[in-house]
Chain A
Amino acid sequence: MDLHASIAGKEILRGVNLVINEGEVHAIMGPNGAGKSTLSAVLTGHPAYEVTGGEVWLRGKNLLEMPAEQRAREGVFLSFQYPVEIPGVSMTNFMRTAVNEKRQYEGKEPLSARDFLRLMKQKRAMLEMGDKLQNRSVNEGFSGGEKKKNEIFQMAMLEPCLAILDETDSGLDIDALRIVADGVNRLKTPENASIVITHYQRLLDYIVPDYVHVLADGRIVKTGDKTLALELEERGYEGL
């Protein structure tokens, strides 16, 4: 795909090539400023980033031609590094709108209020999460751990084919990290794939990747299996 992208005229990605197959987990590691978050922003269609070259294909469809919401409906999901607080919009209303917009895009009938609540309940049970967040405004006043759990809950509701987890481990203590990682593992199927963007090896103890890529200076400079992450932990990015 040879992806190039820039923000405010500054080139951040300088030719990223990546092939992700169904059922695979790819970790992307790299030092600060390598372009990790830019990659997730570009894949999801963030308006602040301009793609200056390259292509992205998802199941035979040209992703870069779609607006952000269409990419989401095609199954691209981003677990945000900093989930946004939306005062006045309840979790239930937010999630129901999202689920039904996706269903409409797929030519399905919207879920009734009852079926929707049942689905919420089922996903919460699957992730072993309580129901105390659902009547609150989206992410408003949530702790760091609650916000990340809520991202995984949304992922469970939307069943993406490609989930991008952007620094999901940042700001989590070890218990919250385990809950979040368990959730991600439970959502894994042979038909979906994920990209785990992380700074540290720690998360990869819980979400075991098939491939580890090192992103530096806007390019993937090294690819290996999970042992590469351990190597990086020991020797640092300088050691490459």
Chain B
Amino acid sequence: MRVSKGDIFERVYVNEPGLDLHIEQEEGSQVRIVVVNLPSSGTSDTSPTRNAITVEQLGKGCLTELYGLAYLRGKDHVETETHVFHRVGGGESKQLFKFVLADQAEGAFYGELQIAKDAQQTRTEQVNRNLLLSREAQMRTRPQLEIYADDVQASHGATTGQLDESALFYMQQRGISREVAYRMLVAAFLKDVLEKVPDDDQRERLMDTIDRVVE
């Protein structure tokens, strides 16, 4: 798929099976994608879900924004991979992917990012943050940055942690049950990705779903 000069392509994909996007951006175009993986009620499908997004910036001054959130439980298994290629200079890309993993869920994030030799003055940011709610949950994360230009700003970070026990106790001490506190902290963790969903109704629905599935 090609996004024409100056155009904006904006999409939210919720539980899209086998998402596999290839996007080429022309000069000054913008791409904003949010990928959401939430447990859908009633299904017991345990086959791994794979999200793959490839974006090539072919023209100058492009903006690519890729966001993702996943709440995985049971034996859920979601792998997300992004491939962002800055072929020409003056472009920007932002990536923020968050996974929350409960039970024996497994998640993976692979982020490949290339800045070509002539793609000077490119700005990129890639962040992957993960929250493990159980000892058996697993997360694999692998940022892969290949930078061939010398005048660029490229930052990346990956962290995996647990829910803050001291925050849970603080909330309980104010009379909030552990279950509700749990939900509030998970929702807070995912909030900055949810805020990237442009449609208010859809965002509300997703928040409700998260509230419902967090235990």
- A residues with CB within 8 A of B: 44-47, 67-69, 72-73, 77-78, 80, 83-89, 93-95, 97-98, 101-102, 105, 137, 154, 158
Inter-subunit contact B169/A86 (CB<8 Å): no
Q: How far is the CA of A93 from the CA of B169 in the complex (A)?
A: 17
Inter-subunit contact A158/B189 (CB<8 Å): no
Partner of A72, one of B166, B172, B187, B188: B172
Q: A68-B169, A80-B170, A94-B171 are in contact. Are A86 and B176 (CB under 8 A)?
A: no
B124 to chain A, nearest CB (A): 24
Q: How many residues of B contact A (CB 8 A)?
A: 22
> How many A-B residue pairs lie within 8 Å, measured between CB atoms?
72
Q: Which of A47, A83, A97 has the most CB of B within 10 A?
A: A97
Instruction: Find the A residue at minimum CB distance from B177.
Output: A69
Inter-subunit contact A73/B166 (CB<8 Å): no
Q: Which of B63-71, B72-80, B178-186 contacts A (4 or more CB under 8 A)?
A: B178-186
Find chain A residues with CB under 8 A from B164 CB.
84, 86
Partner of B172, one of A67, A77, A86, A88: A67
Inter-subunit contact B169/A105 (CB<8 Å): no
Is B167 an interface position by the 8 A CB rule? yes
Q: A97-B180, A97-B184, A101-B180 are in contact. Are A86 and B175 (CB under 8 A)?
A: no
Q: Which of B167, B176, B189 has the most CB of A within 10 A?
A: B176
A199 to chain B, nearest CB (A): 22
Q: Which of A80, A86, A93 has the most CB of B within 10 A?
A: A86
Find chain B residues with CB under 8 A from A83 CB.
170
Q: Do most interface residues of chain B lie in helix, strand or loop, or is the interface mixed?
A: helix
Inter-subunit contact A98/B184 (CB<8 Å): no
Inter-subunit contact B188/A86 (CB<8 Å): yes
A164 to chain B, nearest CB (A): 10
Instruction: Find the A residue at minimum CB distance from B186.
Output: A88
Partner of A47, one of B169, B170, B174, B188: B169
Is B2 an interface position by the 8 A CB rule? no
Q: How far is the CA of A94 from the CA of B189 in the complex (A)?
A: 15
Q: What are 24 A-B pairs at a CB distance below 8 A?
A: A44-B173, A47-B165, A69-B173, A69-B175, A72-B173, A72-B174, A73-B175, A80-B173, A84-B166, A85-B167, A86-B167, A87-B188, A88-B189, A89-B184, A93-B184, A94-B174, A94-B176, A97-B176, A97-B180, A97-B184, A105-B175, A154-B174, A158-B174, A158-B175
Inter-subunit contact A102/B175 (CB<8 Å): yes
Inter-subunit contact B192/A69 (CB<8 Å): no
Q: How far is the CA of A67 from the CA of B172 in the complex (A)?
A: 9
Inter-subunit contact B170/A46 (CB<8 Å): no
Find chain B residues with CB under 8 A from A105 CB.
175
Q: How far is the CA of A87 from the CA of B185 in the complex (A)?
A: 9
Q: How far is the CA of A44 from the CA of B180 in the complex (A)?
A: 18
Q: Which 9 A-B pairs have the closest CB atoms?
A: A88-B188, A72-B175, A98-B174, A84-B170, A68-B172, A69-B172, A73-B175, A102-B175, A89-B188
